[in-house]
Structure 1
């Protein structure tokens, strides 16, 4: 093997200095084939320049060290991004724990809350399935109730598409449907009415030329009794006894229409309202009262009948209330709480499901003052 130190003239000193400087910036990749003696000589010269402060900056580090530092910086940046994403995810879950599957923190909410039921267009074939057992709270008053997936308040009263029927035009049908909706909202969802105040808006929809009904309703509001009970038309709670939890009442039902008997439009409404309440004394125990109403009204033709334009004639109305004392006739709903001690003889009627909308109203014996299977 020949001695490579004898080839001193093969690579100039400037080339070696350029190589070492290029190593600092990563530009030089191919190591020149120079005898080790020349390499040591150039390195010695650079060290002497370094001692005098004249050597190129970073000539000792070389590309390997820079690449290593670059990889470390990239890894640090990547972990920083991951950390930020994780922090955002934790914050979102903290604000709404129900986003986690299975409600692991027991918040009382569930994933079904984000998937409301479609509007009811026909009578269901059976009662809704049992919801997972959960205790309702101030933050989740509908936990454990099928009504969790029902619409909120007025949004649950969806009107069908109006079409002309009999001698009534499409416009007349639309008017009848809107008046029926206004009556349902004013009688069952108005916060003032729910607090026991006089239902002026609801009474304003009714035809004053139906004096027997109007007089009976006014009597029931003024002097409620078993015979004259305002609860047959209006949902009312005693504000000294209970208050609503939040401002949401769950609503589900349907409205249909057909040709009326008085050359007008006959409308049938069947709706269930679910009211979450707590005692007015500051207790946090939540319960629910469920009210179902069936209402038949007609918008008569004032050109042929003694009727007031823009007012409804009530043909028939009926109601059933689940989880409310049926032996008190003071014009208010009186919810029963799980912690209540029995104050009277056990109910004599059958046990019924207040969420079952598959049966006709009154067909399952609610009027016999029974008990409810769930609230």
Structure 2
């Protein structure tokens, strides 16, 4: 039975007692004994009831004598109130840990399963991949569905977890190769990275300008190579197309969707054939773009490049110190018109009607870095995703 003070219900008391309900001068012995027994169950010491409490007690005693006792008097609380009491006790027990959990969730809401607050935005919560140190054994798995936008240009792409720009070109640890010192190997790796950046990540190059930074790294004592590249940049054609080495977009047609180009790949090195160190670079670059004019629709072009360069020994060969010999280069371009050779990449947008010739080659995954580039250069295939 609950202690009497908790069960008092003032609805049974008139604010202005009538004359036929006089205030009892004292509490009858049986009521006082009951009050004492009930109060003894509380942890606090019993106190003499106030005049108002005595009035209520006498009123209840008289109602009981007439058989008009209200519910709960001497019979304990109603069951519904018991459930409320249990809930309050449960909250008292759980209050501290729940409050601590609320504080933790407030600081890091992603700890809750299912992301109930919608904080897991595509491209924001995806954990970055570790740096690639060798060719993967398979293509990346399917990505979460998503349509690229200006705010999330890599939504729905495996490149979402790739590194941004230069951060994706991680150099291997330099080690001496034969008679080539560790320092020379390190220099060759750094020059190769600069060549990749100048040819594929430099904002001026990507926006269609002449790739001066990349050209300045090539040995001028390769006159035929530089002449061919100069011809390609000045008068592009199917035979001399600069996009085979440089990633360039027509600024009158498209512009970058943001400042980020996703990059993934790796380098290897070995003793070269010109007394120096030979470096092979295999990297893929993903470019989100929008139309220069018209609807704001984002698409992506994916370019994979494989370069073989060497930092030759100037003591043995007639080469320029600190410049690279470009021995071979190859590329695979996904989502760019095949039959246009004006020196630029021409991405196609989902809403556009195809303008080039029907595909003559197989369907390929431009994100698959596990395969060698052994395609027929005259084939124009399709890509399975962008």
Band of TM-score, shorter chain: 0.7 to 0.9
- Is residue 204 of structure 2 the alignment partner of residue 180 of structure 1? no
Q: Is the 8 A contact 2:337 2:356 kept in 1?
A: no
Give 3-state SS (helix, strand or coil) of 1:330's partner. Answer: coil
Kindly tell me: are residues 225 and 106 of structure 1, through their superposed partners in 2, closer, same or farther at Cα, counting changes over 3 Å? farther
Partner of 1:143: 155
- Is residue 369 of structure 2 the alignment partner of residue 369 of structure 1? no
Give 3-state SS (helix, strand or coil) of 2:196's partner. Answer: helix
Measured after TM superposition, the shift of residue 241 of structure 1 is 0.4
Unaligned stretches of 5+ residues in structure 2 = 1-43, 52-87
Measured after TM superposition, the shift of residue 151 of structure 1 is 0.8
Unaligned stretches of 5+ residues in structure 1 = 1-28, 33-38, 45-70
Taking the aligned partners of 1:209 and 1:170, their CA distance within structure 2 comes to: 25
Measured after TM superposition, the shift of residue 123 of structure 1 is 1.2
Kindly tell me: are residues 233 and 344 of structure 1, through their superposed partners in 2, closer, same or farther at Cα, counting changes over 3 Å? closer
Q: Is the 8 A contact 1:349 1:366 kept in 2?
A: no
C-alpha RMSD of the superposition: 3.4
Kindly tell me: are residues 350 and 31 of structure 1, through their superposed partners in 2, closer, same or farther at Cα, counting changes over 3 Å? closer
Q: Is the 8 A contact 1:237 1:333 kept in 2?
A: yes
Kindly tell me: are residues 165 and 229 of structure 1, through their superposed partners in 2, closer, same or farther at Cα, counting changes over 3 Å? same
Measured after TM superposition, the shift of residue 343 of structure 1 is 2.3
Q: Is the 8 A contact 1:103 1:110 kept in 2?
A: no
Kindly tell me: are residues 174 and 127 of structure 1, through their superposed partners in 2, closer, same or farther at Cα, counting changes over 3 Å? same
- Is residue 165 of structure 2 the alignment partner of residue 161 of structure 1? no
Task: Provide TM-score, normalisation by structure 1.
Answer: 0.74
C-alpha offsets along residues 294-318 of structure 1, whole Å, 9 cap, x if unaligned? Answer: 0000000101110101000000011
- Is residue 137 of structure 2 the alignment partner of residue 125 of structure 1? yes
Taking the aligned partners of 2:252 and 2:327, their CA distance within structure 1 comes to: 34
Task: Provide TM-score, normalisation by structure 2.
Answer: 0.72
Give 3-state SS (helix, strand or coil) of 1:114's partner. Answer: coil
Partner of 1:195: 207
Taking the aligned partners of 1:274 and 1:104, their CA distance within structure 2 comes to: 31
Partner of 1:115: 127
C-alpha offsets along residues 261-291 of structure 1, whole Å, 9 cap, x if unaligned? Answer: 0110100000000000110114221110000
As a proportion of its length, which structure holds more helix?
A: 1
Measured after TM superposition, the shift of residue 172 of structure 1 is 0.4
Match of 1:220 among 218, 222, 232: 232
